[in-house]
Amino acid sequence: MPDKMDWLKDEMSGVSKLTQFSTVMKFLKGKVSGPSDVVKCAMCPNMCRHACPISIVDGKETTSPAGKSRVGMMLENEVLRFNEENVFPLQMCLSCGCCENWCPFDFSVSDILRPQREESIKQGVDFKQFDEMFKALEMHGSVHGKVGKEKNYPEEGEVLYLRGCEFRENDQRVIDKTMQLFEKLDESAFVLPGEECCGIPAYNAGNTALFEELAKKMAKKINMSSAKKVVTSCPSCAYAYERLYPEFSQGLDVEVLHMVEYLEEKKRLLNLEKKGGSVTFHEPCKLVNGLGKKKSMRDVLENSGLSLKIPRRSGEKTFCCGYGGTTVSRLNEELSSSINEERLKELKGLSKNIVTACPSCKEAFQDNHGDVKVYDIAELFNRLL
């Protein structure tokens, strides 16, 4: 079988030597590297625009996926200076990874623009909303600041349930229901005394130093616990523990599962009888794209015995709730809310009962609209079992 570029080599062999095509020939032969990822992305007419929630709802070229890379390129080339105004478009990214599913280079815009976001922190670009968050993380180990009173749970066992900042601050009821579910599944579950943030909010905002500091602390605590397995309700935390910690040499000694992955393992026990009632579901982007679980949530829910209403945008076409990735909701709450409305409109058209598997998604849906009932997946199965 001929090589992919043989046709071009054939055509070029007849071209006059006077032309300056040596670089191209060297590139074809793999002797010189091609352009950087940011430049490649900037040269694309936005072939992932339709999948980007920011782009669909905000509608701006500047915050479109390739548009952000073009701004990144302008910053690199000093056409634009690093300041709040110019860095702002780069921060309009939900880190949902939806772009990656449609990119011929498998780029995630969030990843390829990390160097520019890191550089902006180094150059002292100062978003006050980020400063507050960084301080809360540094002082209290939680994205929301000092954690309030919490219910007591076992502090030793086999399955370590990491509750995450969001549920600890805003929805401790779900923690309770999740612990009840573990009990029903005969697990010896426990929580981590002195649990802190996994660090991913700092990572998303470009503050890699703070992320590393938090990762070091949490990795040490988890590795010193009695855990044989870690389960978390937050897909971003799972992503941090599974993917980012090893990258930063803070790998965990135990297996980490997101709640959906855990329930997938327990599917046999969850095979419930058919009953009345319907639910629709919202697959968190970090679960689908970050952890690569394209169909897991749907598979688990198919065992719930409920009539499952499938959204148009599901699986790898899932659409962020608007509150992913830390930065958008802090710098542009109005945009987060509009994206949330767009998604909720789709889900509400299918059922008034929505199941999700991410604390931020749950919070966003139930905060913005009171006429739907939003369940965390563990909470739902606890109720059904």
Partner 1 sequence: MIRGDFLSLNESKKKKRASKVDKVIKKLSDTLDGGRLSTQRADLLSYSHDYWPIYLHWMLEDRYPSVPDAVVWPESIEDVRDIVRWCYRGKVPIYPYGGGSGVLGGAVPEKGGIVVDLKRMRSLKLHKKDLLVEAESGLNGYYLEDYLNERGYTMGNIPQSLYPSTVGGWVGTKALGQFSTKYGGIEDMLKGIEVVVPPGKLIELKPHPRTATGPDLRKFFVGSEGTMGIITKGWFKIWPEPEKRIKLSYASNSLKDAVESIRRIMRRGAEPAVIRIYDEIETKRHFYEYDDIYGKVATVMIIEGDETLADAESKIVREEFVGKEKGEKPVDHWLETRFSIKEASEFVPMGVVFDTIEVAVGWSGAAKLYENVVGALKPIKGVLFASAHASHFYPQGICFYFTFAGTPPRKKDAEGFYQQAWEEAMKAVINSGGTVSHHHGVGRQRRRWMSEELEEGYELLKKIKQKVDKRGIMNPGDMGL
Q: What are phi and psi of 151, to 5 degrees?
A: -70, 150
Q: Where are any strands of DSSP class E within the chain?
A: 159-162, 189-190, 229-232, 255-258, 278-282, 307-309, 353-356, 373-376
Decide: is 8 part of the binding site for partner 1 (CB under 8 A): yes
Q: Closer to partner 1 at the Cβ: 56 or 252?
A: 56
- Cα dist. 353→68, 315, 349 in Å? 36, 19, 11
Instruction: Name the segment binding partner 1 (CB under 8 A); options: 2-10, 122-130, 186-194, 214-222.
Output: 2-10
Decide: is 82 part of the binding site for partner 1 (CB under 8 A): no
Decide: is 6 part of the binding site for partner 1 (CB under 8 A): yes
CA dihedral 272, 277, 278, 279 (to 10 degrees): -70
Are 311 and 347 a contacting pair, CB within 8 Å?
Answer: yes
Nearest CA-CA partner of 115 in 64, 65, 69, 79: 69
Q: How far is the CB of 358 from partner 1 (least distance, A)?
A: 24
Q: Of these, 41, 98, 234, 301, which contacts partner 1 (CB under 8 A)?
A: 41
Other C-beta atoms lying within 10 Å of the C-beta of residue 336? 27
Q: Which of residues 138-177 bind partner 1 (CB under 8 A)?
A: none
Place of tokens 């219910």: 151
Decide: is 17 part of the binding site for partner 1 (CB under 8 A): no
Decide: is 183 part of the binding site for partner 1 (CB under 8 A): no
Per-residue binder mask for partner 1 (CB under 8 A), 84-123, x = binder: -xx-xx------------x-xx------------------
Q: Closer to partner 1 at the Cβ: 60 or 146?
A: 60
Chain residues in the site for partner 1 (CB under 8 A): 1-4, 6-8, 10-12, 15-16, 18-21, 23-24, 27, 34-35, 39-51, 56, 59-62, 67, 70-71, 73-74, 77, 79-80, 85-86, 88-89, 102, 104-105, 312, 334
